[in-house]
Structure 1
Amino acid sequence: MDHSMSDDNQMTAIQHMQSWLSACDEQHTCKALTLDRPSWLVDTVEYCIVPGSNPNNYVALSYTWQDSASSENKEPFQLLEDNLQILTQPDSLRNHSQSPLPKVILDAMELTNRLGQRYLWVDRLCIIQDQETATISEVMRMDQVYVGAYVTIVAAAKFGLFDKLTATLSDPRFKNKGRFNEQSWEIRAHYSSVADSKWAERAWTYQEAILSKRVIFFCNRTAFWQCECATWDMKFLSPGKDLDETASAMSEFSLMRRFSVPSYPDFGLYMDLICPYNGRKLTDDKDGLSACLGILNRLAPSFPGGFMHGLPALFLDYALLWQPLKDCYRRTSTSKNARYLPSWAWCGWECFVDPWSFQASFCLDGNDSLRKDKAGSWRLKNLVSWEASSSVRGYDRLEETSDQLSTELPQLSVPDLQRKETNMTDPDRKLSTYGSMDNDIESTFLSCLAERAFFLPSATLRIEHNQPPLKRGIMRMFAEPILNEKPLSSLPSVVVLQNQKGVFCGLLRITGDAECERGMPMELVAISEGSASVKDMAMCFEEKVFQNSQYCHPGPFNAEYDSEGWWTGVSGGSSILDENNYEVVTEGDYEENRILSDNCLCKDCLCEAHLEDDAIREFYNVLWVRRENGIAHRVGCGRIIKDYWRQNEPEKMRITLN
């Protein structure tokens, strides 16, 4: 077994890391930005906490609190109001009477010192954990902490920096043998190791690596470097090799190279950042928004109007159409007096977000020709004027305009950025800007004057494996995320919608675990108009489920995927021995609807006979809502064919969402 950290040239791991830092300092521009300093830092020489106002470099640590749990079940050692003064005394981190410092923090302190740096930022020692105001303030500027770090240490190994509890920097038992001779495959292997770690499952760690300008990753038995310009390791990928080749190879896996503040509201970048974040795990669900505020803060300068619970005010109509990709659960906080995150925002749910649910927005991405091509015929038209509020009594209006976007972008209706006071109970109330995080956290209610109508569920469709499913692996979400639709059995249920006459009217994807009751009308709210060709619509998830259901082509099928794991269609044969063999089943106690089943090939069903039809289908984007004390809560999102919506005589009324 290889117990060293040296390569063929007998360089130690520390020497490798020092060479990475030196090469990046000399050759690259991806150095730490000079921003507001953290409030507190760990002095790794004096072993105490010091004010962060000193101008020296500091190293940041990204780790999971599970790695730092005490083996004796004592309270975790952390910075509190009561011990703040004590921990500012030299050697206080050695001689304190509380539970010992976690090994991952001790290892990070030693590494910081051996890299020639003195100061380390660790959240549990540099944020006063029992002082709510201080905690919120630090969380709101988490982007500045990591962007301002000289380098960030990512502890993604089994025991923080190492794969053994007894390992140290002197004998870390790393294997430095490369597995591949090609740079792109070596980089893929490194990121695969990170993706398989507990670190990659946690929500807070996601933004910590993305926000950092330079990162040293510690995985099981290996370590590697990532910055905005290169990826290096201790074997094949080293400073001095062709930088363009290395940068090109790493671009597939890292958002870091793209994540400088863009000069225009890049919805595509926003989507790439948010979709793989929202399914990560949190200890407390109330942090669903807080754990990504750093990312939103970095995007905010280029998004006029800022964000409303993570949704860009500028593109609110597009963002409200988010859909869960796989399993989806409502976030409910365990903290007393904590506000629930709103149901209309993705942060109110634990789920990876389906990037294809934003397909109508792909045409907004002026700098990404590939994504614009994927937009196809999908288009969206604004329908309502949204208003936001922290209570049900007063709202700040977002009026419609089309002059806020660059002339390079399509002239589409987007919410106005001007805020107008409509609170009749307090006309002197001061308004904050949408760019402030206070507003992002407080504005939990959305209101609009919109049309609503009631439709009936014909059936709820769900995809099942036709064999016992294989053990599910970890979804590989780190860096340039790999989102996919495997296995199909993990995808959400789809509701088939009909009117009172039993005519097919549309499809809807359930958010969470809401169930449809037989014969019970579903309240739908039209939030925007949309259009797409019949051919393009037939390729969306809901339509593919419907096409393979009892209404069109019932029975088992073998799923086909593209190279990225997205469901593209079905193959002719089927075998229960194939792991890709599925069947769409009907949930609930529903009577088979004769009009739907006997008229499957009518003009309103997108079956094979119509796949070549390029005619444009118009529809309404709708939210399925359920009410509590008069307030509407989102439980689903889908589309209703425009003609059938109008025939159903919708009523216009004020809708308040939370």
Structure 2
Amino acid sequence: MDCKAKVGLEVVYRFLARWIKACDEQHNGHCQPIPVQKRRPHQIPDWVIDTRDARIVPGHTVSQYIALSYVWNYDEANAQPPQAERLLLKQSNLSEFQKPGYLNGTAALHLPQAIKDAIDVVRKLRERFLWVDCLCIVQDNGNTRAQVEHMDEIYSGAYFTIIAAASSSGLFGMRRNTEERGMGGFVPFNRSPAEAYIERLYQNLFDSKWATRGWTFQEQILSKRAVIFINGDMFWDCQRCVWDKHELIPGSNAETNGSYTGPYYDIARQMSSISWPDFGMYIELVCLYNSRDFTYPQDSLPAFSGVLNSLMRSFPFGFLSGLPQLFLDIALLWQPFSRAKRRNAKDGGAVAPSRHLPSWSWCGWQCPVDPFSLRTGLAYSHREDYQSRALTWQTQGLVRWSVLSEDMQQELRLDGPPFGPPRQEQYKDLRTKQDVKLPKGWSRNTGDYSKPSSGSDSVYFTHSSDTTSRFKHPVPINDAALSTALNQSIWPFLSCEAAQAFFRIRAILKPLQEMTKCASLKTSVFNLPQFTEGPAFKDICHVLCLQDTQGRSAGLLRQMDDTKVEPGEGIELIAISTGSVAYAELESAFEEKIDRVGSYSYRHELRTIWFEQVLSSGSIENDSEDEMSRWWKSHPCMFPDNTRQAWRSARGNRSPDAERRASNPVKDGNSRGDYHFYNVLWIERQGDIAYRRAAGRVPKVIWEENCSKPIKVVLG
């Protein structure tokens, strides 16, 4: 060990020993795992590293272990081994790994510096056992996937986790500038200096390569506590406190003396304790996760399986390729927040089979998921923050789903227990049917709701497992006797009978330019900078405007990827659910606002993206294409009001009211200002399988005048 590493190890020991002691003594066991001896077999790792004897030993023989989260990163200057020379535990060398001293010999030459440093830290702390994925999971036997699927047990069961997020090799890395430390600098008006400082610590972590890799997401969020090494510095993060070497020091009362929880642990605590299916928590997790990178893209689902296993405790019937069965009709409406890239399988992976992930799930695409595309799933809760996001958006199931095995020889209907949830409408109806007996554990309550928006909001429901949470109607609660979670890896296809319609792409709305007039890290993904500030200009999704055979506007789709789409192209859509929303809220939705005014704003209106139209040669509005193009070239910096006026002029002076009447005529029977629509998928067929190309909305009247009778569709 060189001099720098020795100094680094002494500093680590001095602070880390103090943090562990304070956490153990002051947090009443909230941050400590269940002892290994009291766990079930599947909750115990098969192998752990004995750092004293430099070998691996069976996990059930130890009392506690420390886990490591790191990324492989070849660095010639630090002699990192290339991928082909990595030391991995395999069937062929399993007996060698168990010999005392094996990991001190030539095998150590093939270990990345982060693992070597972690071994030194464990020894210095006078702990003994360390879990590292590549050295403690046999990479080429039938149990590999089972171990990976129980990552939630491995990381949540660790005494603590070492997170190696330094930009260079090893834990200690390059020290950052001293002026970046401390609580000085800009503090947002709604933040204390300590909170702002913690946000900066976490922003450094989020900006690291470690935070871009797929497997590391659940390694942190599932850990009860962790020490994080980032750019020559370190900080402690547990379920009660954040501490570091400079400002946040545990004192006699660590709960109140300058210590706060980090942004992930609100979610982590809920995952371990919540008793009801919290779709908002699911949104937070998926949106934080899905933009991450993988060496083998097909690992995107296994690398999230620990999180899904944890969620399954409160989500009855489990998940299908990452989508919760209970909210399947809503979850299928997910949209990319920025341009998506299809995750195509690569050969060589040890965890997931070399097959493509389904196009109908977010896991089959690399992109951040737009949280607002899933907000209709929050409508069942009385939580104020959920209601402020769900607003009047409603979704109602339209089709009956089945799953098919990979060979398509087995089909299983999801139309009720034990394999499928009851229809959500059955539970929604309980709100008004007072003479119907409520499901076990549910109670109807009236009055005393803090902020009712109408008289009917004074009625709310609670469940005996959590009387503090209020709901607009009962929801299914997990009951092992009533539900069976399917093995999502062997049911890759969805099937249904859905109405079909053919439309033409009238126009493509593409980003043309942006105007920027200046954001803090908050817990909810709805408020995180990567969502409030919008994607990079080049990654902003295009909007596809549809037209039926009579030339009428027929709805909008959000284009998912950069696959070439031509105006005038004919496409096939299927309807999977119906929906409604107040017009006032529809007009602020991404697709509708761009179609209406030609722009969309992020960062609280401080960043505005202007869009241009590319129209088909047969479009009714074809003459406006040249006008719009010329206008943009001659007026690149016009003010928003002028831009909107020109946009509407180029579209034939269609006002929002005119479009409202066109897509929702009087015969729709709507007198309350609600827009009714069908949620649709654009599908592209390859043989007997249909693949998702995009999702969007078609006005109810337009769809019903153009659709066929339901046909069987298999989604892959």
- TM-score (structure 2 length as normaliser): 0.77
Note the alpha carbon deviations across 1:346-396, whole angstroms, 9 max, x for none.
101111100000121121344x32122221111111111111121434321
Distance 1:413 1:433 in 2: 14
Distance 1:247 1:593 in 2: 63
1:516 Cα deviation after fit: 3.2
Note the alpha carbon deviations across 1:439-482, whole angstroms, 9 max, x for none.
21111111111111111111111213359x99xxx999999954
What does residue 50 of structure 1 align with? 57
What does residue 651 of structure 2 align with? 597
Cα distance change, pair 250–77 in 1 and its aligned pair in 2 (3 A):
closer
What does residue 135 of structure 1 align with? 144
Q: 1:362 aligns with which of 374, 378, 387?
A: 378
Paired residues, what number? Answer: 601
What does residue 239 of structure 2 align with? 228
Q: 2:165 aligns with which of 156, 178, 196?
A: 156
Residue 315 of structure 1 aligns to a residue in which SS?
Answer: helix
Cα distance change, pair 547–602 in 1 and its aligned pair in 2 (3 A):
closer
Distance 1:623 1:217 in 2: 42
Kept in 2, the 8 Å contact 1:381–1:412? The answer is: no
Kept in 2, the 8 Å contact 1:200–1:478? The answer is: no
- Return the letter of the residue paired with 1:499: D
What does residue 565 of structure 1 align with? none
What does residue 561 of structure 1 align with? 603
Mean Cα deviation higher: 62-71 or 648-657? 62-71
Are 2:681 and 1:623 equivalent residues in the alignment? yes
Note the alpha carbon deviations across 1:501-551, whole angstroms, 9 max, x for none.
1111211112223443443321111111100011101111111221233xx
1:261 Cα deviation after fit: 3.8
Are 2:395 and 1:380 equivalent residues in the alignment? yes
Cα distance change, pair 457–385 in 1 and its aligned pair in 2 (3 A):
same
1:44 Cα deviation after fit: 0.6
Residue 256 of structure 1 aligns to a residue in which SS?
Answer: helix
Cα distance change, pair 481–203 in 1 and its aligned pair in 2 (3 A):
farther
Residue 14 of structure 1 aligns to a residue in which SS?
Answer: helix
- Return the letter of the residue paired with 1:447: S
Cα distance change, pair 247–296 in 1 and its aligned pair in 2 (3 A):
farther
1:55 Cα deviation after fit: 3.5
Residue 66 of structure 1 aligns to a residue in which SS?
Answer: coil
Cα distance change, pair 375–444 in 1 and its aligned pair in 2 (3 A):
same
Kept in 1, the 8 Å contact 2:242–2:260? The answer is: no
What does residue 448 of structure 1 align with? 496
Q: 2:125 aligns with which of 112, 115, 118?
A: 115
- Return the letter of the residue paired with 1:291: A
Are 2:16 and 1:17 equivalent residues in the alignment? yes
Distance 2:526 2:19 in 1: 20
Kept in 2, the 8 Å contact 1:255–1:480? The answer is: no
Cα distance change, pair 592–543 in 1 and its aligned pair in 2 (3 A):
same
Cα distance change, pair 247–491 in 1 and its aligned pair in 2 (3 A):
farther
1:115 Cα deviation after fit: 1.8
What does residue 330 of structure 1 align with? 342
Kept in 2, the 8 Å contact 1:254–1:479? The answer is: no
Are 2:510 and 1:510 equivalent residues in the alignment? no
Are 2:703 and 1:645 equivalent residues in the alignment? yes
Residue 621 of structure 1 aligns to a residue in which SS?
Answer: strand
1:207 Cα deviation after fit: 0.5
What does residue 178 of structure 1 align with? 181
Kept in 1, the 8 Å contact 2:501–2:703? The answer is: yes
What does residue 25 of structure 2 align with? 26
What does residue 386 of structure 2 align with? 371
What does residue 225 of structure 2 align with? 214
Are 2:610 and 1:583 equivalent residues in the alignment? yes
Residue 625 of structure 1 aligns to a residue in which SS?
Answer: strand
What does residue 447 of structure 2 align with? none
- Return the letter of the residue paired with 2:368: F
Mean Cα deviation higher: 255-264 or 490-499? 255-264
What does residue 309 of structure 1 align with? 321
Distance 1:21 1:179 in 2: 22
Residue 269 of structure 1 aligns to a residue in which SS?
Answer: helix
Distance 2:592 2:51 in 1: 58
- TM-score (structure 1 length as normaliser): 0.83
Kept in 2, the 8 Å contact 1:209–1:215? The answer is: yes
1:238 Cα deviation after fit: 1.6
Cα distance change, pair 356–545 in 1 and its aligned pair in 2 (3 A):
same
Alignment of 1:344-423 (within 5 A): 344-366=360-382, 368-391=383-406, 392-399=408-415, 400-402=422-424, 407-408=461-462, 409-411=471-473
Residue 243 of structure 1 aligns to a residue in which SS?
Answer: coil
Residue 586 of structure 1 aligns to a residue in which SS?
Answer: strand
Mean Cα deviation higher: 373-382 or 204-213? 373-382
- Return the letter of the residue paired with 2:610: E
Note the alpha carbon deviations across 1:183-238, whole angstroms, 9 max, x for none.
11110111011011100000100110000000100001210011111111112112
Mean Cα deviation higher: 95-104 or 354-363? 95-104
Stretches of structure 1 that go unaligned for 5 or more consecutive residues are: 420-431, 550-556, 563-567, 572-579
Q: 2:590 aligns with which of 536, 541, 555?
A: 541
Once the two structures are aligned, what percentage of the paired residues are identical? 33
Cα distance change, pair 225–642 in 1 and its aligned pair in 2 (3 A):
same
Kept in 1, the 8 Å contact 2:316–2:476? The answer is: no
Distance 2:514 2:676 in 1: 35
Kept in 2, the 8 Å contact 1:450–1:527? The answer is: yes
Cα distance change, pair 458–163 in 1 and its aligned pair in 2 (3 A):
farther
Stretches of structure 2 that go unaligned for 5 or more consecutive residues are: 185-192, 416-421, 428-438, 443-460, 463-470, 623-649, 665-670
Are 2:170 and 1:125 equivalent residues in the alignment? no
Distance 1:641 1:329 in 2: 28
Cα distance change, pair 245–369 in 1 and its aligned pair in 2 (3 A):
farther
Distance 2:12 2:81 in 1: 32
What does residue 426 of structure 1 align with? none
Higher helix share: 2
Cα distance change, pair 174–534 in 1 and its aligned pair in 2 (3 A):
closer
- Return the letter of the residue paired with 1:15: R
Residue 379 of structure 2 aligns to a residue in which SS?
Answer: helix
Residue 499 of structure 2 aligns to a residue in which SS?
Answer: strand
Distance 2:683 2:362 in 1: 15
Are 2:308 and 1:296 equivalent residues in the alignment? yes
Alignment of 1:32-43 (within 5 A): 32-34=33-35, 35=39, 36-43=43-50
Note the alpha carbon deviations across 1:160-179, whole angstroms, 9 max, x for none.
44454xx8xxxx89969832
Distance 1:559 1:447 in 2: 38
Kept in 1, the 8 Å contact 2:568–2:616? The answer is: no
- Return the letter of the residue paired with 1:401: R
Residue 283 of structure 1 aligns to a residue in which SS?
Answer: coil
What does residue 525 of structure 1 align with? 574
Distance 2:109 2:582 in 1: 63
